[in-house]
Amino acid sequence: MTNSYSQTLGGSIFKNKGELNLEKFINLDITKYKPNDIKKIIGQDFQKDSWIDTDKFNITRYTISVSHKGNDYRLILSEKNNNLILGLELYNNTTKKYYFKNCEEIKNKYEKNFGKNFRYTNVPANEKNPRYYQSLKFQLNYPNHIIDLTCFNYGENYQTTWIFNKNKKEYEFMDELIFISCVIDRKKLETKYLPGYEMADDYKVKRMDVPDKFDLFIDNYFKIIGRRSNISENQNREIKGEYKIFNKDRIEVVENTSDEPDLINVTWQLNRVNGDIELLLESKNHPKILHSGGIRKDRYYGNCQKSKGNVF
């Protein structure tokens, strides 16, 4: 055949070394294409590699280079389990060239499309940390496909931005954060005093003189909970640690407390059916002679209520 592939079939949607049209990428319905349509999507000038993933699926990846304003980015078409995923790498940390200036620019451009279904954090630079921090995760919902974007910025000179075009039947769609307000009003001591230091009512559940009130969020997409910021929704803080349980009925996480010198562990237990919450605080006891091993355990009890418009 004397004519090239593109001349015969009218050209591919994207071409190696071609100019990137981001809106074409976003609006493309990837579900209309099958693995034998690779050349219809990215032409025939591509790099190919294959491997077997942890789920024992065969993965084949096809990579081309696309350009925007003279900067090169990677467009990657992956085949897994007879489905195609189209990915776009919108950063180059070697050359410090980025399609978007930062995550905030992406948020401002697309937030009318993704509404409240996004995760955004923006921590300005300060004396302790002279570089700002931003992260953004959102999805756009189309009849057959979803657009999934993740951006991370650390100052002006480090960014990663990935955008994926996926079959929505194969992937979970992001929902809104759930906001809850909690009141802790009872507590009891769980560790025993050493002989000679204990009192008769030490281990009974007691009402707190001043209840502790705080707001939390639940993120079903990432399966985490966190503290809701009173300053800005963009500074909600995840409770980081070991998530032992996260389902529709219960959440249990042992928080990482390495930044608190006197705290050993904080275990959060949330009953999502009735809203009951328990916190177990394990701390270093001063003086150590009061408790065996020098560790004190206090359990706190309370209840959480959903914010208007949200459900547990």
pLDDT, one tens digit per residue, over 138-178 is: 999 999 999 999 999 999 889 999 999 999 988 888 988 89
Asked if residue 311 is part of any domain, the answer here is no
d(CA 197, CA 188): 16
- Is the domain of 81 the same as that of 122? yes
The structure's pTM equals 0.77
166 and 183 in one domain? no
On whether residue 94 sits in a domain, the answer given is yes
Residues 157 and 226 in one domain: no
- Give the pLDDT of residue 307: 64
Specify whether 25 is located in the same domain as 76.
Answer: yes
pLDDT band at 5 (very low <50, low <70, confident <90, very high): very low
Least confident of 168-172, 205-209, 240-244: 168-172
For residues 31 and 2, which has the higher predicted lDDT (pLDDT)?
31
Give the residue from 137, 170, 203 where a domain finishes: 170
HEC-encoded secondary structure of 64-93: EEEEECCEEEEEEEEEECCEEEEEEECEEC
Angle CA 225–227–233, to nearest 5: 105
Q: Please tell me whether residues 221 and 276 are part of one structural domain.
A: yes
| Residue that terminates a domain, selected from 108, 141, 170 | 170
Residues 114 and 165 in one domain: yes
Which domain does 163 fall in, by range?
A: 5-170
In a domain, 290, yes or no: yes
Is residue 312 domain-resident?
no
Highest mean pLDDT among 144-158, 181-195, 199-213, 285-299: 144-158
Same domain, 154 and 35: yes
Residues 28 and 69 in one domain: yes
Q: Are residues 220 and 157 in the same domain?
A: no
Q: Are residues 166 and 35 in the same domain?
A: yes
Domain boundary among 170, 195, 221: 170
Clarify whether residues 23 and 165 are in a common domain.
yes
As for how many domains the chain has, the answer is 2
Q: Are residues 182 and 143 located together in one domain of the fold? A: no
Of the pLDDT bands very low, low, confident and very high (cuts 50, 70, 90), residue 25 is very high
Query: Between residues 190 and 309, which one has the greater pLDDT?
Result: 190
The more confident residue out of 120 and 81 is 120
- Residue 65, pLDDT > 70, answer yes
